[in-house]
Amino acid sequence: MPLLAIDLGGTKLALAVFSQEGDLLSEEKINLDKRKSAGVAQLIATSVTTILDKQRNKGEEIKAIGVSVPGIFHQKEGTVWAPNIEGWKNYPLLKEIKSIARNIPVTIDSDRTCSILGEWWKGAAQNCSDAIFLAVGTGIGAGILTGGRILRGANNIAGAIGWMALEHPFQHQYKDCGCFESSASGDGIAKLARKIAREMLDGRLWLPEVNRSTHYHATYVRPYWVREMKKNFKTGLHVFYRPRQWGDGSEVPSWGTAEETAEIAAKLD
């Protein structure tokens, strides 16, 4: 009895067919390519319809559909709130999938809940009654199993840890995804790295002294290091810097010209 699993993320859609025992039979991944609102739902509908037709032609019809969403599923209303998908504040996803599901049962839940249930069934949390699954992707979430039951909290918001406050004051960029997520999710780290790199290239960001024992002075990034960073690290998460002065007060040699700096800055946009 094949089952269809759908994992919607902030940047991609993954679909897989499993046996009832949890064996993977087929899978595919599709980039969202910055789709918004109904565009994401249309991609899901098209992909699901294709798989249902394929399985029917094989004489192995899908018996149930499970959907994992990057946010909160409001079970009573059948709607999804997904902060990393534009236009999905209260999106009627359950209704739309049921309209193409051909009377196949459909279940939707948050990705953090689906993740901890998967680990409990087939993964690292087997035979555990208390466990936490921490997911770091476009966003950040925690699936929490306690006393053998999923902790959901008020309005199914338990585990939405991206909204945890890490520092004061509150800043505008925390409004959509939260402080923790803005600082430590995959998307948040990439945005922060780009911001830091631009400020360093503009000469606006000075790092504090890094080694008090040798009295290093304020440090800064030179174009040479940024060029190497861009060449060797696609994620841009590695930031190299050298002291402005060595411990004995001698100047550190500089690299790069104004033209090189402008060229690197353009590549960061």
What's the half-sphere exposure (Cβ side, CA atoms, 13 Å) at 133? 24
Main-chain dihedrals φ then ψ at residue 150, nearest 5 degrees: -75, 130
pLDDT per position as a tens digit, 131-180: 999 888 878 889 999 999 999 988 888 888 887 777 777 677 676 677 78
Taking the C-alpha atoms of residue 195 and residue 101, their distance in angstroms, rounded to an integer, is: 44
Side chain identity at 202, as an amino acid letter?
A: D
Taking the C-alpha atoms of residue 237 and residue 178, their distance in angstroms, rounded to an integer, is: 20
pTM across the whole model? 0.68
Q: Residue 141: which of 196, 70, 92 has the closest Cα?
A: 70
pLDDT at position 262 is 54
CATH of 3-161, one of 2.40.50.140, 3.30.420.40, 3.40.50.300, 1.25.40.10: 3.30.420.40
pLDDT per position as a tens digit, 29-72: 999 998 989 999 999 999 999 999 999 999 999 999 999 999 89
Q: How confident is the model at residue 265 (pLDDT cuts 50, 70, 90)?
A: low
Q: Where are the domains of the chain?
A: 3-161, 185-268
Supply the mean pLDDT for the chain: 78
Give yes or no for residue 201 having a pLDDT over 90.
no
Q: Residue 196: which of 168, 160, 220 has the closest Cα?
A: 220
